[in-house]
Each structure stands twice: as C-alpha cells, then as structure tokens.
Amino acid sequence: MPADRRLERQAALRAALAAEGLDALLVTHLPNIRYLTGFSGSAGLLVVAGDRTTLVTDFRYAMQGPAEAGGAADVEVDQKNVWDRLGKVLAGGPPGALGFEAQAVTVRDAERLSGLTRHRLVPTTELVERLRMVKSPEEVAAIRAAASLAQDALAEVLPTVRVGQTELEIGAGLEGALRRRGSEWHPFPTIVASGPRSALPHARTSARPVGRGEWLLLDFGAQVDGYCADLTRTVIVGGRADERQRAVHELVRTAQARAVEHVRAGMTGREADALAREVIAARGFGDAFGHSLGHGLGLEVHEAPRLAPTAEAALPPHAVVTVEPGVYLPGWGGVRLEDDVYLAPEGPERLSDGRTELVELV
C-alpha cells in the first residue's frame, strides 16, 4: 500500500507558515486541498492551523469528504453555505494572521472572507505549490502509470488512423482508448491538429479531414490517482514524409533528446530551456519555437517548476517536468515532441517511452 504522506505534507506546510509569520492558511485551490487531505470533490475550503486541519464542504460530499480525508482532517459539512460554516470554524480559535491563496481567491471571495473573521488577512503566493514541486515515490509512480496508459492508448489508435478521418474522429478514438484503459479523466482538452493546423501550438481539435502526406499532431494526457501525464507525438498520415518534413522532425527530435539527456535538478529553468532552444536556433528556426520547453506535472497538468527563457529559479530534485520543443511554420505545419521526465538526484529519468522516431502511417 502506498505511504500516506498527508500529515507529513501538512507538517511541512505548517513550517512554511511559521516562517512567513502566519498562524493559519485558508486553502481554496482544489488540487492543493487534495494534496493535503486526499479530498477530491469540487467544493471545499480547508483551514490549516497550528493544531488542527479542518475541511469544510457541502451536502454532496457528506459521505465522500470523511471517507477521503480520513484522519487527515476534521470534516464539517454545511447544508446551506460553506462560507458561513467557514466563519464558524475561524471563530473557534484566537484571531491571528490568516494567509489565503492570492493566486486562487477571487476578489468576491476575498471580500466575503474579510466579513467572516477578525483574523488579519495576508495574501500568500503558492505556499502549497512549492511543496508539490517535490514528488514522492508514490507520485512519480502514478505519473509513470498515467504515461504508460497514454502510450498504450496511442498504440491502439494510430494503426486505425486513415486519410479523410476528421480530427474530431481521431480525438474521440484516442479519448475512448484512454478511458477504457482506466484514465480517470482527460487532464486537458486533447489536441488533434492536422496539416497546416499543426502549426497552431494549442489548436482546438476541429472537423477538418486529414489529408494524404500531412502532419498529424497529437497532444494528449491521462490521469491516474489524480496525477497527470502529458505527451505529444507528431506523425505523417497516408504517405511518406518529404525531405522538408524529415528535416524538421529530426531537428525537433535532436533538440528534445539533448534536453532530456542533460536536464538536471539544480540548473535554472532558463538553462534547461536553452538545451533544446540552442539546437533549434542554430538551424535558423529560433523564431519558430515560441513557447517554453516545459512545465511541471503532478495533480495539475501545468504546475511548477517552469522550463522557460524567463525562469531563473532552480529546478528542485524530485520534480517531474515535460520536455516539449517544437517548430511551427505557418501555412506548412508544425512538429512537437513531448515526454515526461523525473529529475532524480542522480540524473533525469524518462517516465514516458521516448518513442519519438518519425512514424509514417501508410
């Protein structure tokens, strides 16, 4: 049975609160609540104080809340208004400095909170997210399982892809295969982009039919025990790649391989990004690689740390990140290749299969 790390995480958060001079933290970002308590519902407010952790939720989760939180939190269920119940929870102790998640709380909820309590309200930034960057063995295993599931789904679907199928049809097949293999949900809207539309890094899957000899870019993920995998493969449909297609694909593949091999905990996100960007820029395609190299993975598909030209923070040991360089040429198409990598202290470890060779579906 996987280790239960919820109390350990709460202890680490309390240490961070003490360092910030805070007596308690109101957690409203649902992935953070799940990380600290195990509660996976869609409505919850969590107060982490010095001697107590209290989860407030509503009637829909009257059974689910206690079952999931177990001994990690006291659960209070309100039939009418969770914010009113939160006020009662906060009134149960002496007023002090109460932090709230500034990146997650709306202006309306901040105003609501100020009317509930005599605590001094202090905006905080990503206190829980900093803890979440460092993955436990169980978290790494869940991401690895999600990546394996996603790879199996792709292996099922690719042989069925034909010229004339629409992007939506291909996406439906892929999403069905993901669910059949046990993916809890899709961590983000599946991207299926063909032909010139593959030059749109975050294209919306459309009703466009795939033409012969065109690019097909598939960016998709799976979710296991709440943890996300994120993969991208770019293939040719209905023919052989031409010389230009081969050259661009090989350039992106070379850049990705260099980054996967040399990314290390301790280097900055900017230095990691440069591992791939330098290769692409040296071939004259620097302007065609307009997004960052990657991002953290965990309970959310996009979380810290960042691998980007502007990211000066060091990558922590035990983070899991994506490595996904791309080259996008408007009117022609684009290539992106993405794998998930664990930053072990001894070096990078690929969690996905790294099958980035050029696939021609003939």
pLDDT of residue 51: 87
pLDDT of residue 3: 87
pLDDT of residue 1: 65
pLDDT tens per residue across span 50-102: 989 999 999 999 999 999 999 999 999 998 889 999 999 999 777 899 999 99
Which candidate, 140, 135, 147, places its Cα nearest to that of 182?
147
CATH architecture of 6-132: 3-Layer(aba) Sandwich (3.40)
Helices 137-157 and 167-180: crossing angle in degrees, nearest 10, is 130
Element (H, E) at 360: strand 360-361
Reported as half-sphere exposure (CB side, CA atoms, 13 A), residue 9 has a value of 25
Asked if the domains 6-132 and 137-361 are classified in one and the same CATH topology, the answer is: no
Cis peptide, bond prior to residue 94, ω within 30 of zero: no
Rounded (10°) CA dihedral 180, 181, 183, 186: -60
DSSP-derived letter for residue 182 is T
Reported as half-sphere exposure (CB side, CA atoms, 13 A), residue 148 has a value of 8
What class is the 137-361 domain? Answer: alpha beta
Strand ranges (E), 164-293: 191-194, 214-224, 227-237
DSSP 49-105: ESS-EEEEEEGGGTTHHHHHHGGGSEEEEESS-HHHHHHHHHHTS---EEEEETTT-
Which candidate, 112, 128, 123, places its Cα nearest to that of 30?
128
CB burial of residue 192 (10 Å; 0-12, 13-18, 19+)? buried
Q: How far apart are CA 144 and CA 224, in angstroms?
A: 9
pLDDT tens per residue across span 192-239: 999 999 999 999 999 999 999 999 999 999 999 999 999 999 999 999
Q: What is the CA radius of gyration of the chain?
A: 23
| Ranges of each domain in the chain | 6-132, 137-361
> Which parts of the chain register pLDDT below 70?
1
C-alpha 100: how far from its chain's center? Answer: 22
Q: How far apart are CA 240 and CA 231, in angstroms?
A: 23
